[in-house]
Amino acid sequence: MDTIKLAARVTNIRVSPSTAAAQKVRELEAEGRQILNLTVGEPDFDTPGSIKDAAIEALVAGDTKYTPVNGTLELRKAIRHDFKTRLGINCSLDQISVGGGAKQVLFVALMATVEEGDEVIIPAPYWVSYPDMVIANGGTPVIVDCGEDVGFKLTPEALEAAITPHTRWVILNSPSNPTGVAYQAEELRRLGEVLLRHPHVMVMCDEIYDRIWYADFDACSILGVMPELANQALVVNGVSKSYAMTGWRIGYGVGPRKLIDAINKLQSQMSSCPSSISQAAAANALTGDQTSVAETVGIYRERRDRAHWLINQIPGLSCRLPDGAFYLFPSCAGIIGTTTPNGKRIETDLDFVLYLLEEAGVAGVHGGAYGLEPYFRISTATSMDVIERASAQIARAVGALS
C-alpha cells in the first residue's frame, strides 16, 4: 500500500514539459531510433577553459567551505560591476543574492513574497517553469496572452488591465524563452510607468539570455531604464547560458534590500549557500576575457539565421526572427487541419510535434507548453548539421501531409 502523502504544492505542479520532451527523446533513442533533438535548453558548448582553470585554482587553494549565504564578496563585486557597466544599474553589495541558478533565485523570490490568493501576471508565451513556480508557492498565475500580433510582448494596456489589488508580481523575460523576442528601452519604460502607478506590484525580470543577443538595439534592463523602480524590481541573471555553465548552478538577483534579505533568509535555511567552487568560476566568467561569449554568440547567430530561413521555406510554417537566446518559435497554424499519411488529422500543435517526432525523427516542444498555440519551439543549441538535417526532415514530413 502506498502510504506516502504528497503535499498539494507538489501534486498541483507538472514536470517541466521540455524536460518531459527530452526524456521522450532519450526513450526513443534507447529503442534504437535516431532522433534529431531540438528540445535542448542549454548551450552545446563546453565551459571555457579559463573558467574551469579558475575553479581548479579555487579547489586547490582550499576554497571548499561554506561561503556567505548571499554569495562571496568576490562574486557579488563582479555582479555589481557587470550590472553597472553593461546595464547602467547601480546597486549595493547587499542588494545582491547569489543562488543555485537563476531558477532557484526566481523560485525563492516567489517563496519570499507570494501567499495563497496572491496573483502573478505571466505574459504568454512564457518559460514553462513560471506558472508552476507560482502554483508551488500557493499563488495564482494570471496568464496574459501576448500573441504574434503584439510581437509576443506585454503591452502597457494589457498589464494595466491584468493588475488587481491581489497582484504581487509581473514576470518579464527578455530575451524570451521560447520566442527570442526582447523588449526595447522605450517598451520597458512604458511598462515601468504602469508599475509606478501600482506600487504594490513588483516586476521580476528574467534576463538569463541577455548576452546571447543579435538585435540591432542594445540589451537593456527595466531597472537600468527606470531607476525609479528600484523598490519594485528584481533583476535575475546568471552564468548558465552565456558561459555554457548550466551544470555549475550559479544565478543571482538584484533587488530592494528588504526582498534580498528575505531571499537570503530562506536560502540560509535551504542550502546555506551556493557552491564555493562554482562561485569562484562564475566570478572569473564575469570579470575575465569575454572573447568566448562573442564567439559563441557569433555561432548562435549563424544558426539562427539559417534555421529561420529554412523554416520559413516550409509551406504552413512561419517564424519571426529572434532578437536573442537560442530558440525559434514558429507558427504551425498552416498545418492545423491537415491529415497525415496514416489518416490522422492534425488538430493541435501537440499533434504536429508528435507527428514530427514519429515521422521525421525530429523532436521539438509544442507551443501549448509555453501557453500559446499553435506554435512549436525548436532550439538552435545544436550543430548546423543537425539544423540542416532536421529542417529537411521537417520539410519532407510536412510535404507528406494532405
Question: CB of 341: closest distance to ligand PLP in angstroms?
Answer: 35
Binding residues for ligand PLP, rule: CB under 6 A, are 41, 101-103, 127, 173, 177, 206, 208, 238, 240, 246, 251
Q: Which residue reads 509606478 in cell numbers?
A: 196
Report the residue number, 235 or 397, with the smaller CB distance to ligand PLP: 235
Report the residue number, 131 or 316, with the smaller CB distance to ligand PLP: 131
Question: CB of 34: closest distance to ligand PLP in angstroms?
Answer: 25
Helix (H, G, I), strand (E, B) or coil at 212: coil
Report the residue number, 192 or 324, with the smaller CB distance to ligand PLP: 324
What does the block give as the cell for 323? 532578437
Torsion 370-239-153-333 (CA) sign: negative
Report the residue number, 130 or 355, with the smaller CB distance to ligand PLP: 130
What does the block give as the cell for 340? 497525415
Q: Which residue reads 539570455 in cell numbers?
A: 209
Question: CB of 382: closest distance to ligand PLP in angstroms?
Answer: 15
Cα-Cα end-to-end distance for the chain:
50
99 forms beta bridges with 251
The Cα 76–Cα 231 span in angstroms is 20
Question: CB of 114: closest distance to ligand PLP in angstroms?
Answer: 18
Residue number of the CB atom closest to ligand PLP: 101
Question: CB of 102: closest distance to ligand PLP in angstroms?
Answer: 3
Helix (H, G, I), strand (E, B) or coil at 177: coil
Report the residue number, 155 or 246, with the smaller CB distance to ligand PLP: 246
Question: CB of 99: closest distance to ligand PLP in angstroms?
Answer: 9
167-173 and 202-206 beta bridge pairing = parallel
Q: Mention every residue, 6+ apart, whose C-beta is less than 8 A from residue 73.
A: 93
Report the residue number, 108 or 310, with the smaller CB distance to ligand PLP: 108
